[in-house]
Amino acid sequence: MTAGASISGMDTTVADGRDQSRIVASWLLVCCVTIFAMVVLGGVTRLTGSGLSMVQWAPIMGVLPPLSTVEWQTAFDLYKQYPEYQIKNQGMSLEGFKSIFYFEWAHRVLGRTIGVMFAVPFAYFLLRGQISRPMIPKMFALFLLGGLQGLMGWYMVKSGLVDVPHVSQYRLTAHLSLAIVIYAYMFWLVMDLLAPARSAQPSHSRLQSASVGLLAFTFLTIVSGGFVAGLKAGFAFNTFPLMNGQWIPANIFYMQPVWQNFFENIATVQFTHRLLAVSLAVCMVVFVSYAWRRAAAPRLRLGLMLLLLAVVTQVALGITTLLLAVPIPLAAAHQAGAVLLLTAILFVVHQLRRL
């Protein structure tokens, strides 16, 4: 074999590897988009009060909704045995029940669809050797996280089927947080497949550290938003920047022990989320301004512009949602905006690692 033929063969192998990486990345990206839709639909399900309408967990048979009047009546009769109907929705009609049932049903079916969308292509690519050896354990980790998320969803629902028709804010936040972790991890793998990350050059190490800090800050703010959602804290203190005429509500630490206020006191939970969100926005604007002057890479600058757009939009959505007492379309857009903001900072972190 000549040297030219050898080089040509190597080039073909590299090209084939890149093509396979793009195919796998495209599949994961479709899964990411579907998870994004799942997060938004989960928010709508919560906002419409639909999350407790399905009182049984039937992973296989639950794929189909009731298809006859008798089946609908059976599902409705089961719902009537639980606190949400007895305390909150007593006297609801069958048509009213259908209107909330379909949101929860769609949410569960989309979750199972994501499982199939991931598992079947994963098995196919694995058998054909199209997934690199270092990537295989990461894919298995995603698969296990997805299964855990399904269990976490039912664990959350069960908390609202006991005495009080309200799911635990702790379990709801855990369910949301795990969805965000799965999305972020999958999106990172997509970026690694399309453009493998490298260690940052010394000139950009500070920027990289700052971007990782902002990523963690963003996740913390999303987690605090989970507690706001779980306690329905957005329906209180619908003024900004003051909270009903006060910078700091008077009853912010009335619970004992003090730590309990940050998870169960509506005033404290909303105040904390406001403080985190505003602080995050300020830090991101400062970061974008600093990074723009020190990094000229076109893809990084694109990421910085998207990050700035995302944070400004998210702050505007958050304030508007609060002032208008949480209308469903705006609240759903605010939840979607949180995921897009996380996506933008993830992209920036990855670009800084590639410089």
pTM above threshold 0.85: yes
pLDDT value for 200: 45
In tens, the pLDDT along 258-297 reads: 999 999 999 999 999 999 999 999 999 999 999 998 887 8
Residue 197's pLDDT band (cuts 50, 70, 90): low
The strand pairing partners of 243, in sequence order, are 246
For residue 9, pLDDT beyond 60:
no
For residue 304, pLDDT beyond 60:
yes
Residue 46: alpha-carbon gap to chain centroid: 14
More confident residue, 154 or 60: 154
Q: Mean pLDDT, the chain, as a whole number?
A: 90
Residue 13's pLDDT band (cuts 50, 70, 90): low
In tens, the pLDDT along 86-125 reads: 999 899 999 999 999 999 999 999 999 999 999 999 999 9
For residue 322, pLDDT beyond 60:
yes
pLDDT value for 19: 75
C-alpha distances (whole Å) from 312 to each of 185, 316, 333, 341 are: 25, 6, 13, 10
**End-to-end distance of the chain based on CA atoms, in angstroms?**
37
More confident residue, 204 or 75: 75
pLDDT value for 10: 44
The radius of gyration computed from the CA coordinates of the chain, to the nearest angstrom, equals 23
Residue 23's pLDDT band (cuts 50, 70, 90): very high
Closest C-alpha among 109, 89, 111 to residue 99: 89
Using a pLDDT cut of 70, give the percent of the chain over it.
Answer: 92
- Tokens encoding 136: 């295989």
C-alpha distances (whole Å) from 136 to each of 132, 189, 193 are: 7, 11, 13
- Tokens encoding 317: 């959505």
Amino acid at 80: K
Residue 140: alpha-carbon gap to chain centroid: 20
More confident residue, 234 or 7: 234
Buried/exposed 167-189: b ≥16 CB within 10 Å, e otherwise: bbbebbbbbbebbbebbbbbbbb
Tell me if 194 sits within 8 A of 111, measured CB to CB: no
More confident residue, 18 or 23: 23
The least confident of 10-24, 54-68, 101-115 is 10-24
In tens, the pLDDT along 210-258 reads: 999 999 999 999 999 999 999 999 999 999 999 989 999 988 999 999 9
